[in-house]
Amino acid sequence: MNIVNILEEIEKVDGEVYERLNPRRAAMKSFVNMGKKVSLAAVPLALGSMFQKAYGQTLPTAVKDVLNFALTLEYLEYHFYNHAVLAAPGLLSGAALTAISTIRDHELAHVNLLKGALGATDARPALAYTDFDFTAGGTFGDVYTNYNTFLAVAQAFEDTGVRAYKGQAGVLKGLDVLTTALQIHSVEARHAAHIRTMRGQKPWITLGAGGVANDTGIAAVDAVYAGENEEMQTGVTITGIATGVTKAAAVESFDEPLDKAKVLVIAGLFIR
């Protein structure tokens, strides 16, 4: 067990390890001093805490931006559902109320998780229900009184959420936080599937009528589905790749990402 060897090994994968540790000279120094006194067995614990200090609170700016972007979307979803559950009399009952409550709880958990990951200093300012206009300036004027309108907007949010997380995967490549983002991403996909079936749609996004990308039949959400009718994946044409794989099947088989700017345009319609 040789601390120098360990640092050398780390340097192979993280060339900046000494730089990261350098601002923490005090921690490093106390570690070295302590190393003389404590038994070998206690060293890993000390190491763990030292590296946590070096890495824990220093998320790269690009990663923070992704997490704050995700946090914005989670606030939007949480307040949308929370209001439906608590303050929209007659909108939801029975299984629908249970399902929407479950989804609301997940979105709140995601808000708290992302806030925690970012920390108080880096997390964006909290968003309240009053910061949103879920009628989108009147486009969905009866969103909290008409069950079908509510579900249509819910579906748009969930399918957008899936696309939004997917679009940021590259920024998080290779990081532990990518796994967390993927674990949120697949939960949003489960929500989307359930809400789509509540609306009588396929759980998966299929080809719209006449080959358009939007399969909801609601033109107001065209932007949510832009590009979902893709049939090429990393240069491979999926349509016809095997017997029975029609263009619709090809479109259904792969969910497409949406870049941050486009997602923010959609979210922006609902933010005051």
Partner 1 sequence: MKLFLKQSNKILKANSKTMKQLLEKNEKEILLEDRSILTSPLQRRSFLQFAGVSVAGIALVAAGCKKDKNDTPIQTGVTLDFKDDFGVLNYAYALEQLEAAFYIKVASAPPSAFTPAEKAYFQDIQFHEIAHREYLKKALGTAAVGSLEVDFSSINFADKASVLGAAKAFEDLGVAAYNGAGKRLTTPAYLLAAGKIVSVEARHAAYIRDLITPGSFAANDVIDANGLDKAFTPTQVLAAAGMYIKTKINVVGLTA
User: What part of residues 252-271 is at the interface with partner 1 (CB under 8 A)?
Assistant: 252-257
Q: Which is nearer to partner 1, 154 or 255 (CB)?
A: 255
Q: Quick check: 129 binds partner 1 (CB under 8 A)?
A: no
Q: Which listed residue (64, 79, 110, 115) binds partner 1 by CB under 8 A?
A: 110
Q: Which listed residue (103, 143, 221, 224) binds partner 1 by CB under 8 A?
A: 103
- State the CB neighbour count (10 A cutoff) for residue 127: 18
User: Please, are residues 265 and 169 in contact by the beta-carbon 8 Å criterion?
Assistant: no
CA atoms within 13 A on the CB side of 228: 30
* Length in residues, the chain: 272
Distance CA 166, CA 59 (A): 20
Q: Quick check: 27 binds partner 1 (CB under 8 A)?
A: no
Q: Quick check: 187 binds partner 1 (CB under 8 A)?
A: yes
Question: What is the residue-wise DSSP string for 169-202?
Answer: GGGGTTSHHHHHHHHHHHHHHHHHHHHHHHTTS-
- Contacts by 55-61, CB closer than 8 A, 24 or more apart: 55/20, 57/119, 58/20, 59/117, 59/118, 59/122, 59/177
Output the smallest distance, CB 16 to partner 1, in A: 11
Q: Which listed residue (106, 151, 207, 225) binds partner 1 by CB under 8 A?
A: 106
Q: Which listed residue (162, 213, 218, 258) binds partner 1 by CB under 8 A?
A: 162
Q: Quick check: 55 binds partner 1 (CB under 8 A)?
A: yes
Output the smallest distance, CB 33 to partner 1, in A: 20
Best CA proximity match to 157, nearest among 125, 116, 199: 199
Q: Quick check: 9 binds partner 1 (CB under 8 A)?
A: yes
Q: Quick check: 47 binds partner 1 (CB under 8 A)?
A: yes
Q: Quick check: 191 binds partner 1 (CB under 8 A)?
A: yes
Output the smallest distance, CB 76 to partner 1, in A: 15
Q: Which is nearer to partner 1, 91 or 159 (CB)?
A: 159
